[in-house]
Amino acid sequence: MFRVIFGLCLAMALTSAANAQMGRTDSRRADEAKELRELLKNLDSAYNEKKWDEVITLAGKALEGDAIEGEQRAQIYFMRANVLANAKNDCAKAIPDFTAAIELVNNSPEYYFRRGYCLDTLKQGDHGIADMTTAISLDPKNSGYLSSRCISYFNIKNNEAALADCEAALKTVPEDKTALIGAAASSETLGRKEEALAYWKRLAAVDPANAMAKEGIARLSQKP
């Protein structure tokens, strides 16, 4: 009888201990979830308030471990990459974060475009154009992507491709200043002076103070 009662008491004690352990585990998980929610809230606030150093620090903490996965993790990598590239002017550090975001979500045109823009900034034009091309394939009517690739083509002296991209961008956004500059410069380099002059004049109409437009009009209006 004693052995039976002792056995029952032992079983109850083990069950109680297990339940207590589970309770502690659940409590710890709840605390961790709360801390993570607070961290993400602070990260979002820091980004909105343009506290860039704080964004970089908080993003690093959020990316520790594997509590955040998938698209949300990609967004944090992308957020930190944008801060590094734009606020800190450090594309070399931003590119690994852009790449990490792409590895997690490979169908975001903005992820490819931003990495491509950084690669272009680092004078890796061919790789930058490749990423911009992927972005355009995912979002074909985005004039910003087209005008940026236009400038990238112009920088590597592929003027025909540059002109085609800027003309495509202008079909969507006729007053896109970057596209007008690219179209004018590419046309002029190709020797299409009348076409170039027309683009410079369009740019001047959109932005009367634009020095490039004034110079282009003066240059091409001169008589031989």
Is residue 81 one of the residues assigned to a domain?
A: yes
How many domains does the chain contain in total? 2
Place of tokens 């990495």: 115
Residues 6+ apart with CB under 8 A from 220: 188, 193, 196, 197, 200
Is residue 60 one of the residues assigned to a domain?
A: yes
Which range marks the domain in which residue 125 is found?
46-140
pLDDT tens-digit map of 182-203: 999 999 999 999 999 999 999 9
Q: Are residues 57 and 98 located together in one domain of the fold?
A: yes
As a whole number of angstroms, the distance between CA 140 and CA 131 comes to 13
Q: Are residues 127 and 186 located together in one domain of the fold?
A: no
In degrees, rounded to 5, the angle at the alpha carbon of residue 178 between the alpha carbons of residues 91 and 115 is: 25
Residue 126 clears pLDDT 70, i.e. is over it: yes
Q: Are residues 122 and 86 located together in one domain of the fold?
A: yes
Cα-to-chain-centroid distance, residue 181: 24
Whether the pTM exceeds 0.85: the reply is no
Is residue 182 one of the residues assigned to a domain?
A: yes
pLDDT bucket at 28, cuts 50 / 70 / 90: confident
CATH number, position 198: 1.25.40.10
